[in-house]
Amino acid sequence: MPILTLDDKNRLTLPAELLDQIGLKPEERLKVESDGAGRLVLTKIREPLTGENSSGENSHNRAELDRSIQVIRGVGLKLAELLAKKNITTVEDALYLLPVRYEDRRELIKIAKLRSGERELFTAEVIHCGITATKGGRRYYEAVVGDETGTVTLKWFNFNQRYMKGLWQPGKKVVITGDIVQYGCQREVHHPDVEWIPPGKDLAAVMAADPVNFGRTVPLYPLTEGLTQKTIRKILKEVVDQFAPLVETFLPLELTDRHALLPICKALQEVHFPGNDTEPEPLNHRSAAPHRTLAFDEFFFLQLGLALKKHGTVLEEGIPFRVTHKYTRPLLKLLPYALTSAQRRVLTEIKNDMSASSPMHRLLQGDVGSGKTVVALMAALLAVENEYQVAIMAPTEILAEQHFLNLHRYCDELGIKVCLLTSGMKGKAKKTVIEEIASGAVQIIIGTHAVIQEKIDFKRLGLGIIDEQHRFGVIQRGAMKKKGENPDILVMTATPIPRTLAMTVFGDLSLSVIDELPPGRTPVITKVCGESQRQGVYRSIREEVSKGRQAYIIYPLVEESEKSEMKAAIQMSEELANDIFPDLRIAVLHGRMKPDEKETTMRSFKSREIDILVATTVIEVGIDVPNATVMVIEHADSFGLSQLHQLRGRVGRGSEQSRCILLTGSRLSGDGEKRLRVMEETSDGFRIAEVDLEIRGPGDFLGTRQAGLPEFRVADILRDARILEQARVEAFALVERDPRLASPENVRLRAELTRRWGGRLELAGIA
């Protein structure tokens, strides 16, 4: 065992063999402490990569990363404007502009070995070149190039004649990168990347002199017009060399060890300019260590914020509601059906939350027709029993009106005043509603985002219910919360949310799922039909009506327009009534009708005074007519999957066999066909949601560019689902151990979390 001694400057030198046994990594150092019994204790801690111990140096690094991209040599005003189109204004923005793919430029191949369908790198001499034309008269620029093994043709369909003539001349030598395509016996490359070899220069010397673009796995970046790969690589090389070392790693050391993550500065260096021996495939699949590290880092900080929000809610003082059954028991007697066991289970979870001393933050998820609205009404009545107000917020006026029409009938009988508040309301009517909310004269307020506007004051808000939560984000939830003194929040959606999305958008909420449909429901048979089968579809409708059943015919538009070839509800209801079903009772329902007109029409349909209801997607939610057994959706390929699933949920609500017929035009896109086939194959809302998410991507699935979806620079919630789960487990475990991130080792973590997510996650009161 080696003996350690202090030198004359009180320094302790450890022998090399002892350091080998300890196994220090480059980013680690040893901390030496006394255990109080005369012994020294050595502890491995992370070595600050960029002066992490000094808050002054930390802030210096942050200031450097926030500098304008114009500090980079060669980036003037014009180039800065081009980069701004890619949202790059600072050097940190540039560091996180990751390559879209990577090319293997480690060795050149001969023309004879060029592979069709592959992107290849080769050198050649220009044999002949010039402008030519297709048989149809379309002009293009063509160059035939070759080496000792063969020739290949290069083509440009968009070109500047004078520029090309000055550049392309027989006898010049060039290095070419491009996608090889085969037409019969001829191989071609369209719009290749080219690097010219100066006359008399050796190829090897030219490539060695440009190590950024040759002799390595080369990054390819997303471009904008006027920006070339060579230019952006030159910029990024300087950014990475100069500024990547300033990017700090905030993740705890034991966590990075457990998941084999790199320091963030190293991950950024390798993701932009991988080592010469790096294979491009793992990089292109985003499965290499640099990508995994950066994705984990992004996910971890989001999940850390969500964990703090969830834990912070527990620490807040809420409203401990008492269950008196003053209104909830009479409502059960008014309902024409008994609650399912799933509804009762979820109600128990909600009641337990509302009875607790901390505020409820719960997501209620249930498929179409599972009975979420009644559960929400029961929760609302519990708040009203305790003399509190309830706000119910829906994303559209149509959905808000539907809730109002469905709920006010029950509330009227219970003696509870309900009002509707939307941004479309004007003048005296709106003023009256606002005054009634402020005075407490109205107990349940149903509306759009108008209910959380600044000028709306509640007398005593106790519960906020947010419907179709996937169209709202954390900010709207926070605004609802500020309308009262820590009111309970219940968010609900009929769109099944895939697990990865639920972990990002709703990661701070407790989850309740109504996973049971009311008894007596029958699965809906779904069939895709083309225009040639229209008459058979009409016969199916007539057969159902002859049995005493009813039908829906859904159109995507209210009125026809010159720009659209789609059939529209108003015009088609007239054609159906006059020419196709003149003996049947037909009515139309669309979003432009007044609320009382819609209610009258829906009531007539429910009471069987109407045989066929011609409608737009206004019937997507809220209508429950068990006698309606057939639905025809015109131009079904123009609807999203989730919307088709919602629409289909309007039939199959009784014990009779129901059908949903998806009518399409002659041509279907690949995605359109995939959507409709999934509808035929399954009625499982979660399976449908997963396919919808795959087709549309998270942004469109949630409602394009809305506040509910966190923005990631590197991570992808579909591709990196496993990393997301790992990051969530680690983040929630950390907050369980240190609920306020107050321990010395987590103080920097908390500061970085606040910088990244504080405002967007409403973390000010927690972090």
SS3 of 479-532: the string is HHHCCCCCCEEEEEECCCCCHHHHHHHCCCCEEEEECCCCCCCCCEEEEEECHH
What are the helix and strand counts (H, E) for the chain?
26, 23
Last residue of a domain, one of 487, 514, 541: 514
Q: Identify whether the C-beta of residue 638 lies closer than 8 Å to the C-beta of residue 566.
A: yes
The domain in which residue 614 lies consists of 524-682
pLDDT of residue 230: 86
Residues 476 and 535 reside in one and the same domain: no
pLDDT score, position 360: 92
Q: Indicate the DSSP class of residue 376.
A: H
* Beta bridge partner(s), residue 152: 145
Q: Is residue 418 part of a domain?
A: yes
Query: pLDDT averaged over the chain?
Result: 85
Closest CA to 555 of 591, 608, 583: 591
Gap between the Cα atoms of 538 and 435, Å rounded: 51
Residues 356 and 260 in one domain: no
**How many domains, the chain?**
4
Q: Are strands 186-190 and 173-183 parallel, antiparallel or unpaired?
A: antiparallel
- Tell me the two tokens of residue 484: 């009262």
Domain shared by 506 and 649, yes or no: no
Residue 121: inside a domain = yes
Q: Which residues, other chains included, contact 589 with Cβ-Cβ below 8 Å and sequence gap of 6+?
A: 569, 598, 601, 602, 605, 613, 614, 615, 616, 618, 619
Q: Is residue 191 part of a domain?
A: yes
Same domain? 340 vs 258 = no
Q: Which residues pair with 154 in a beta bridge?
A: 143, 189
Q: Is residue 318 assigned to a domain?
A: no
Among 184, 215, 246, residue at a domain's last position? 215
- Residue 475 belongs to domain with CATH number: 3.40.50.300
Report the CATH number that the domain containing residue 70 is assigned in CATH.
Answer: 1.10.150
Question: In 335-396, which residue ranges form alpha helices assigned H by DSSP?
Answer: 341-355, 372-385
- 418 and 487 housed in the same domain: yes
In a domain, 22, yes or no: no
Pairing verdict, β 28-34 and 40-46: antiparallel
531 and 651 housed in the same domain: yes
Whether residue 11 is contained in a domain is answered as: no
What are the distances in angstroms from CA 255 to CA 249, 492, 658, 734?
A: 12, 34, 53, 10
Q: Which residues have C-beta within 8 Å of that of residue 441, sequence separation ≥ 6?
A: 417, 435
Same domain, 357 and 505: yes
- Do 427 and 566 fall within a single domain? no
Question: Which parts of the chain sit beneath pLDDT 50?
Answer: 26-27, 47-54, 562, 704-707, 764-767
What CATH number is associated with residue 117? 2.40.50.140
pLDDT in tens, 123-133: 999 999 999 99
489 and 432, same domain (yes or no): yes
In this structure, are 502 and 577 located in the same domain?
no
Global pTM reads 0.69
Sheet with 444-447, strands from edge to edge, namely 418-421, 444-447, 389-393, 461-467, 488-493, 361-366, 510-514
Has residue 30 been placed in a domain? no
| 743: exposed, middle or buried (Cβ count in 10 Å: 0-12, 13-18, 19+) | exposed
In a domain, 563, yes or no: yes
Are 385 and 469 members of one domain? yes
- Same domain assignment for residues 497 and 432: yes
**254, 285, 316 - which closes a domain:** 285
Q: What is the pLDDT of residue 225?
A: 83
